[in-house]
Structure 1
Amino acid sequence: MGGFTLNDILATRKPRDSWWTVFMVDPLACRLALLVANHTSITPNGLTRLSMLIGFASAAAFAEGMLVAGAALFYLSFTIDCMDGKIARLKGTGTPFGLWLDYVGDRLRVVCCAFGLGFGEYSRTGDADVVLAAVGVVVLDLFRYINGPQLKRVKDATRALVEARLDGQCVLAESVLRGRPRAELGQAAAEFGQVADETGATVVDLQKAFHARFPWYDRFRVFLVRRRVRTHVMSGIEFHAAVFVVAPLLGPAALVPVSAVAGALLLAFEMSLVYRVWLASRQVPSSAAEREKILV
């Protein structure tokens, strides 16, 4: 039905993604997406619905104590979930409703699998800790999706305030790096400066205090970017993989400790994001005369 190649599919991958997706899912998802694109007429929304159904089957398997089957089905569900965006970008068939469906499908899969796992194990063992772990997984997942948009609002407000106080004669370091993601900040700023001299714009770094405290971070970011991995090293995707794939494969005794460790790491990462945004908000100059403190 189509003449797409694997290179066409690879070109639809996100420029940066979670390390679990890059190394553990995309090698399979890209090849399955190639088969779907060339030999079926299934739509991205159809793939999302299929992913949801397999996610529900994973929850049912967990509830019946079939942990290995549940883990395999959860992995397959997530793999198909990674395919819908690739097909949408490849064929230009994505829809705004598809964004909503994908988001809701992810949340339903997590809730159903968490309680299928928790209450299924509780019914067999009577151990209330697995139920508490299931509730914790759901709460942390929802917190992550609430925290992200709120942090973005704070970041946008901080950027707008900086631009207003510097009369717009500045470019944020994040914007410079977006166009030169594989360069370290100093190099990217120098390259940009050569172009921006005529306009008088300067590069300001709202993360200057953070970089001063953690000078290794920029090199670490470049290391990950060159491997198509984002700096969210413990995002929701890795959290879900630990709880619903790794822990069940290790056996019932691993469910609570793996969930607890993964949850603690996720929470620590979310708090690090809050810390960075807080540091950036403190960097806002009260006037153009104070802009030196955030210049690159």
Structure 2
Amino acid sequence: MELTTVWFILIGVLWAGYFLLEGFDFGVGILLPVLGRDDRSRRLAINTIGPVWDANEVWVLVAGGATFAAFPEWYATLFSGFFLPLLLILVALIVRGLAFEYRGKRSSAAWKRGWDLAIFWGSLIPAILWGVAFANILRGVPLDANHEYAGGFFNLLNPYALLGGLTTLALFTLHGAVFLALKTDGPMRTEAGRLAARLALVTVPIAAAFLIWTGIANLDGFGIALSVLAALSLTGAVLLTRSRREGWAFAATGATIVLAVAALFVTLFPNVMPSTIDTANSLTVGNASSTPYTLTVMTWVAAAFTPIVLLYQGWTYWVFRKRLKLSDIPT
């Protein structure tokens, strides 16, 4: 297997890991006004992701860095053409990170409400815009002969991309609700489980519409097979949330996210950014990649350090595996 293909797969794995882990962070933030009836319950929800949210964000930094190093043409075109939505995502993530750190610095109710809103919007905006961005990458964008983006911001707001944004929003919100049911005990666990069961019924038709549209538009056999598996996994999540089997339900929503990302990258290959103007203008793993020497060095570095990072993050989740309840939150 060529190193360009290896790094395309690795970047897909990084994005799948990011959406799997950061997806429930987004979901918890989006649900904060719904399940956080008072300050203690909001603190309980925030504390479920408190030890891990910043480590989860590392995945997107590594994915961006790997793209820059392995496929510089892809990185340049993506970050210039998608500058505004990516800037909005960055600002939202920064504001959300500040909210986690500063919310408890003062006891003022108004102060906390302001930062709670920052957590909500800092979760909602990326949850939508990541779906819009990746749907556009899969659909294709106007690229000229120099592989430069030739469209405007509103070209990105097409119906397919907006449905993609709605799909990621619904899926991450469901993922977050299931995570809260898994990580809490008492009233929060009960309420999150009930909400997850209702959200699942909304998520299924939205995700099904997006997967069907994607399958019809691309007709990639392997991609369609992965999409079908994602749909089956999401259906399983519906049944599991209704029976309050939180661990298996979380595994099912996580599998749905991973399979959906896998379907996207499989369908995209060998392109990394198709052109809607002329297929000859498309960026591929071949014309967008770095030199073989660069990819070789990157491969050795990744082989050495990736297991260490995975072991450390796995250990973090093991340490903080205990369920939380309101009695754990001081008054």
Do both share a fold (TM > 0.5)?
no
Rg larger in structure = 1
| TM-score, length-scaled by structure 1 | 0.32
More helix by share: 2
